[in-house]
Amino acid sequence: MTEQEIIDKTNQVFEESFEIERKRLVPDAQIFSDLGLDSLDIVDLIVALQNSFGVKIRNEEKVREIRTLQDIYHFIYAIKNGEGTSDT
Amino acid sequence: MSLKRAVITGLGVVSPFGNGVAALMAGIEQGRSAVRHMAGWEEYIGLQSLVGAPVDMQDEKRIPRQKRRSMGRMSIFAAQAADEALADAGITLADEDLWRVGCVVGSTMGSAKSINDAFEIMLPNKDLSHLNSTMFFQCMSHTAAVNMAQYLGLNGMIVAPAAACASSLHAIGTAYDLIRLGRQDVLLCGGAEELHPTVTGSFDILFATSTKYNDTPWKTPRPFDKDRDGLVCGEGSGILVLEEYERAVARNARIYAEVVGYSSTANGFHVSQSNRESIGVCMRQALGDAGLETQEIDYINAHATATLQGDQEEAEAIRDIFGASVPVSSLKGYIGHTLGASGAIELGATLKMMEQDVIYPTLNLETVSPDCDGVYHVLQQINRPVKAVMKSGFAFGGINAALICKKL
């Protein structure tokens, strides 16, 4: 999976699940302060990313380190390219 | 300790006729039916009743996403009805002491669609990992009350009576007591419910639904009629603003009516059948609470869902107490049985009838069934002063409720 495909799919999750306009989805956007997500949204973000990318990430320690959209792109890229948790 | 008085100063409704009290009253005034053939319900094996009175949900995205995410359909209906009720009452919550403003909102259960969705997600592979964070908040029994309170930012009491089809009358009766006791100044009260094939199915397997009019849905339900064959489920929400009387007067609020009497009884003998005796005691106790004689009631808005047994027992109870002197009609023919929401939606319509001194007839009541005879059935619109009304509601579990409102 290419980096651009991961960016597009991740942004699609934010548009569809959290009703955030695409123009706000810039890589350095902070998930909490800039995009307005809260603790419940993070649960839904994990479910949506798992469904979208076919991965299991709920119990990944690195999930807790995510702060920006860029962090998510990198996190998913690492998993999809064999550098992290295996695909389901 | 002297009790305070409780008055109704605002009405809000989402009904199968659309959002708003005006849409509900227009549908009733024009004698329309909101009952439809429900496409897709044929897929449910064993479901005989393929009719319902659905709400065409509107403008739900006006509710902010983080408030809306924990709402199933019924909670969205309740929030929208609450907005209308507050505006109708002329209350701006930003100006209120929100610790003194609460809500009492009932329903049979949590969102039927959300419960169904949760099981469909979870059960096939016994896998919880696909459930989202707010599914439980949509499914829990007090979902409508909680979501309304969160949406509006209330800090007062949240109470959620679950009494099936009597839920919203229980809610209004409870709110009436809380206001009278001085525990709250303002309460948003009523009920909410949603239509789903599994909900209709719960009545269907008991032979309580209408099954003969799947191709002519506007002809059913038929309360008190000789050709009635059961209830038709609907959905929506009715929310009333109940307010302490002195406070309402002090702010020059428009007052629809005072709640003057309430009672609830249990029949103590059968989980699904109603009976005239316990209904009668409930009505007499409500009259006693109100300090009114039978001849002082100008209109009875009946529960009458068009089941064979329920309509008969209710008509007999009314006949025992009121004879044929008080006009009686049911609104189920227009909007179906909105279950836990029915008491509040139909009381809202009744209060508008009081305001306009008009009584609307029972839609689809063409020939009064002999077993429902002996009461004053309203077959055509009546224009006459309506100063005091009784609203009744009955529910699975042998629950009866009756509420009396009177113009000031």
Q: Give the structural domain span for B142.
A: 1-408
In which residue are the tokens 């009491």 written? Answer: B157
Mean pLDDT of B388-394: 98
The answer, yes or no, to whether residue B148 has pLDDT greater than 80, is yes
The answer, yes or no, to whether residue B18 has pLDDT greater than 70, is yes
Measured CA to CA, the distance from residue B160 to residue B322 in angstroms comes to 32
Give pLDDT, residue A88: 47
Count CA atoms within 13 Å of residue B386 on its CB side: 27
Instruction: Find out whether B345 and B34 touch, Cβ atoms under 8 Å.
Output: no
Q: For residue B64, what is the nearest residue in chain A, using CA coordinates?
A: A19
pLDDT band at B1 (very low <50, low <70, confident <90, very high): confident
The predicted-structure confidence for B87-126, as pLDDT tens digits, reads as follows 999 999 999 999 999 999 999 999 999 999 999 999 999 9
The answer, yes or no, to whether residue B16 has pLDDT greater than 80, is yes
The predicted-structure confidence for B49-90, as pLDDT tens digits, reads as follows 999 999 999 999 999 999 999 999 999 999 999 999 999 999
CATH of the domain at B82: 3.40.47.10
Taking an 8 Å cut-off on Cβ atoms, the answer to whether A47 and B65 are in contact is no
Taking an 8 Å cut-off on Cβ atoms, the answer to whether A18 and B130 are in contact is no
Which chain B residues have a beta carbon less than 8 Å from that of A36? 66
Give pLDDT, residue A6: 96
Every domain of chain A and the residues it spans:
3-80
pTM of the predicted model, to two decimals?
0.96
Mean pLDDT of chain B: 97
Taking an 8 Å cut-off on Cβ atoms, the answer to whether A51 and B130 are in contact is yes
**Which of B68, B70, B128, B129 is best to mutate for the A interface (most A CBs within 10 A)?**
B129
Taking an 8 Å cut-off on Cβ atoms, the answer to whether A41 and B133 are in contact is yes
B68/A contact by beta carbon, under 8 A = no
Q: Which of B100, B178, B396, B164 has the alpha carbon at shortest distance from B270?
A: B396
Give pLDDT, residue A58: 87
DSSP string, B49-101: --EEB------GGGS-HHHHTT--HHHHHHHHHHHHHHHHHT--GGGS-GGGE
Which residues does chain A have with pLDDT short of 70? 83-88
Question: Coil, strand or helix: which one is B266?
Answer: strand
Our CA-based measurement puts residue B391 at a distance from the nearest CA of chain A, in whole angstroms, of 41
pLDDT band at B374 (very low <50, low <70, confident <90, very high): very high
* Topology of the domain covering A3-80: 1.10.1200
Q: Which of B221, B228, B218, B239 has the alpha carbon at shortest distance from B154?
A: B239
> How many domains are contained in chain B?
1
Catalytic residues of B: 165, 303, 337
Mean pLDDT of B14-35: 98
